[in-house]
Amino acid sequence: MPDRPQQLDELFQRLQTATAPLEIEALQQGIWQLWLETDDVALNKHLESGMRALSAEDYTRAIADFGWIVAQHPAYAEGWNKRATAHYLRGEYRASLLDIARTLRLEPRHFGALSGRATILRMVGDDRGALRTLRRLSQLCPHLPGLQTQLHDLQRRLDDSDAQ
């Protein structure tokens, strides 16, 4: 049985060439499973609790649980990503971007973090930053549904503003 890094590498390799939306979704789900898999009982407890809190829209609780994870397991990228999500949902974009940056330092291929970063950058008016982020995402998954349209629309908006 291949180890997690090797399994991730294989799934990401397949993600680059996948064109069918269902196949892309299945590959992404496989990657998420590997990212969420841990052998640490306490980490799993806080991860589950934080994810339940997110679902219940209790972002303060979620941030506390994910905060415990990043304090105890700073090399666990998904802890940072989950906390970034909770910050985003609470409207704390700067804190979310900081956690996304940490996630991407630990796992540069984190398509969820890249997508979240692009969303926030568009919301705060940084279209150039969003475009750079989406281009990075397209290197991982060029056929992600809707991605090419987003890239085209952002590029056109930037070209229009440059022309004015």
Domain of residue 56 covers 33-108
pLDDT at 100 over 90: yes
- What does the pLDDT read at residue 1? 53
In a domain, 59, yes or no: yes
- What does the pLDDT read at residue 131? 97
Q: How many domains does the chain have?
A: 1
Mean pLDDT of 100-110: 98
Mean pLDDT of 27-36: 96
In a domain, 16, yes or no: no
In a domain, 124, yes or no: no
Global confidence as pTM: 0.93
In a domain, 56, yes or no: yes
In a domain, 40, yes or no: yes
Mean pLDDT of 113-136: 97
CATH code assigned at 44: 1.25.40.10
In a domain, 150, yes or no: no
In a domain, 61, yes or no: yes
For 84-136, give the DSSP string: HHHHHHTT-HHHHHHHHHHHHHH-TT-HHHHHHHHHHHHHTT-HHHHHHHHHH
